[in-house]
Chain A
Amino acid sequence: QQKVQQSPESLSVPEGGMASFNCTSSDRNFQYFWWYRQHSGEGPKALMSIFSDGDKKEGRFTAHLNKASLHVSLHIRDSQPSDSALYFCAARSYGGSGNKLIFGTGTLLSVKP
Chain B
Amino acid sequence: EAAVTQSPRSKVAVTGGKVTLSCHQTNNHDYMYWYRQDTGHGLRLIHYSYVADSTEKGDIPDGYKASRPSQENFSLILELASLSQTAVYFCASSDPTGEGYEQYFGPGTRLTVL
Contact = CB atoms under 8 A, between A and B. Distances in A.
Interface of A: 6, 32, 34, 41-46, 49, 51, 88, 92, 97-101, 103-106
B102 A100 contact: no
Nearest to A88: B42
A100 B90 contact: no
Residue with the highest number of chain B CB atoms closer than 10 Å, among A41, A43, A100, A104: A43
Contact of A106 (B42, B50, B106): B42
B39 to A, nearest CB: 9
Contacts of B94: 99
A24 B4 CA distance: 30
Interface of B: 4, 31, 33, 35, 40-45, 48, 50, 56, 58, 90, 92, 94, 96, 99-108
Contacts of B33: 100
A99 B35 CA distance: 14
Nearest to B43: A103
A97 B56 CA distance: 10
14 contacts: A6-B42, A42-B107, A43-B90, A43-B105, A43-B107, A46-B102, A46-B104, A49-B99, A98-B31, A98-B48, A99-B31, A99-B101, A103-B44, A105-B41
